[in-house]
Structure 1
Amino acid sequence: MSKKKVVLVVEYDGSRYKGWQAQKFDVDTVQEKLEFALSKIANHSVGVVCAGRTDSGVHASSQVVHFETHSERPLRAWTLGVNTHLPPDIAVVAANYVSPDFHARFSALTRRYRYVIYQSEFRPAVLAKAVTWTYKHLDENKMREAAKCFVGEHDFSSYRAIGCQANSPIRTVLNFSVEKLGQYIVLDIRANAFLHHMIRNFAGVLMAIGAGEKPVSWAKQVLDARDRTQGGVTAPPHGLYFVDAQYASEFCVPQVPLGPHFLPFRDEAVLDG
């Protein structure tokens, strides 16, 4: 029996997981939980590939993954059926059969993340691990102005983790918006690909600028330095969400509303800058 390739859109709260990727040690990861659930429905061992691996504590509202199977199942089996074997903080929200040449990682044209900052005098309880809290007042206009320097193709050495294993620090940021929504400030970034801790390092710099601790020009000074030690604090993982991956239309990858879901819904396919 020939194998079929299935694409899934997966949502997860990464608070209690040691990241996406399955590990040799006995720790909880999103990939390990998903592969276990899929294997139950497929009745054989299943391995999955994702569009973008997330770190410990990082979330996703629409992570895209693919896997291969020789089992004949209706699409509802890959969503509702799989969800019966998943913990409450992981859910498959869409599925489709795709062509054999589809690849969740290598077929992705762009990836998109949102970083959610919550401003309040008091720390949140309900969203304690879902947002990055600051008691400081942040000027979103200064943050928005500073973020302009990130758009385009750049050497982002200053904004990647020292231990980043990517072969090149060159990435292309297509859009970077900073928007205030009530007590939230949302950084919304779309790029061809990202470096390790890249968005959290963006957030750390922009929060310092927004708080008035650094001038707007500091973001570009850090970028031009090409030196991670010049980049300030890496922001916490709690506010970071993988929210979208774009593919060629012929792959028929399901589309779901941008998250996280506690933010106001905006019906948009791409950022408007």
Structure 2
Amino acid sequence: MNIIYELNPPKILNSYRIDIALLNQELLKFLNRARIISNFTKYIHITDSVLGIPRFSSIHAAQMMMNNLTNVALNISCSVRTRDRNMNSIIQMVTDAVLLKIRGLLFIQGDKPAFEESENASSLSNPTDVIKLLTSIGFDKLIDLDLSIPNKISNQKVFQKKVNSKPHTFITQSINSIQEIRDLKDLIKPKNIQLIPCIMVPSVKNERAAAMIGLDWSEYQDNFLGFLKEVYQETDHILITSPNSFDEGIEVLKKIV
């Protein structure tokens, strides 16, 4: 299976204070986790400040990974939060990613940031508009430009706008069932857009994360490996996320790769 494993870079602040010594420890922990993942899959996806909490830039984290895991052939992709950045800074990040030979960038609006200039702060850049502009500049020929879509399409107008921006790949929010994947495949098949489903590892430690996004994993929690094999018959790649239990995520990798 082509399994992409999602990895969070280190948080920058500790109790709302910067602690460089602790940050360096967390960076070493991050790099060690990447090294462990590389024993089972060459695909790693680095997130960008999940829940709006400041973390290492996904692009910088990818560079650190490449510099420190020099004997490993990695295929790295990164999330980019657009609500934190204007188009100048996004173009800078995409250029950095191209020069680093990062495989692809997933543009997301992201959760409300923990630090805002005012209560009325709003997104500077919409992910779909970002993709459209970057494609017009020619970045789509240098790096995969990807968008996130919900596991169920309820707003056809918004979905069509995403399709019209011509992303390389749609990466889903966490999937509840195999039928959701099949329905999404039917929607995008005529569009020549790749689909990568995101699937959360069902575990007690991940229950809170699942509840936050309304995820119902009842269809697959009793036979997760069987479910992954079924999903893999529908798509070329699967993105595995285990936000609160790295060890359980690795146990899944050991069994399926």
Structure (1 or 2) with the larger CA radius of gyration: 1
TM-score (norm 1): 0.25
Structure with bigger strand share is: 1
Higher relative contact order (CA 8 A, sep 6+): 1
